[in-house]
């Protein structure tokens, strides 16, 4: 499929124009995919696995979600919608950005598979657009509009990098076991006593 042929999942109707009445919804498929990805990682959330979970044939799901990229885009937008931006901009840009960053961090920790989502996905869904709109509103009075998206991207990158390190550190600690943790405590005491 070429770029000229691509039609965003957000531009496709939820219900096909022809055929039988849909039995499932994109929301149901997306929620099931997120539940699987949360438990086992993004790669486990295949159309076949989702279909088995909801009691459908794998091929029938393609009537609702045409491709794997579309499914991942739906999943990413759905979890981004968990970030509470109600009442933003509040007039206190520091509080708004701190609240957003905390929500972004919490979302990443609940859904670590989000780190495997390709940044090159072409579209923004309604949740992502709402976040951008609210964050641009927070920054609007402070910086020129050309700089808003750059600042939002920097904040996102900072939170993403911090959470990736936090998740990686927790995984390394869990893999190494408690003996390693006590070794780190000793090393930390040595470093701080310099």
Tell me the per-residue pLDDT of 149-190, one tens digit each, with 9 for 90 and over: 999 999 999 999 999 999 888 888 888 875 555 555 544 444
Q: d(Cα 191, Cα 173) in Å, to the nearest integer? A: 19
Q: d(Cα 150, Cα 82) in Å, to the nearest integer? A: 22
More confident residue, 110 or 8: 110
- Asked if 75 and 36 count as a contact pair (C-beta separation under 8 A), the reply is no
User: pTM score, two decimals?
Assistant: 0.83
Q: Using the predicted structure, report yes or no on whether residue 133 has a pLDDT greater than 90.
A: yes
| Half-sphere exposure for 74 (CA within 13 Å, toward CB) | 25
């Amino acid at each position: 499929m070429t770029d000229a042929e691509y039609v965003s999942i957000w531009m496709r109707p939820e219900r096909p124009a022809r055929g039988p009445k849909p039995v499932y919804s994109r929301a149901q498929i997306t929620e099931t995919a997120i539940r699987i990805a949360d438990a086992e990682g993004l790669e486990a959330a295949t159309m076949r696995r989702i279909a088995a979970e909801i009691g459908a044939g794998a091929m029938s799901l393609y009537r609702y979600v045409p491709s794997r990229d579309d499914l991942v885009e739906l999943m990413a937008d759905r979890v981004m919608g968990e970030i509470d931006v109600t009442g933003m901009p509040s007039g206190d840009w520091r509080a708004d950005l701190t609240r957003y960053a905390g929500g972004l961090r919490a979302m990443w920790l609940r859904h670590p598979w989000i780190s495997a989502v390709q940044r090159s996905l072409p579209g923004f869904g309604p949740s992502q657009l709402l976040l951008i709109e609210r964050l641009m509103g927070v920054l609007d009075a402070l910086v020129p509009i050309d700089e808003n998206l750059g600042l939002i991207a920097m904040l996102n990158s900072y939170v993403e990098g911090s959470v990736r390190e936090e998740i990686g550190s927790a995984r390394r600690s869990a893999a190494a076991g408690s003996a390693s943790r006590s070794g780190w405590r000793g090393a930390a005491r040595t470093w701080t006593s310099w």
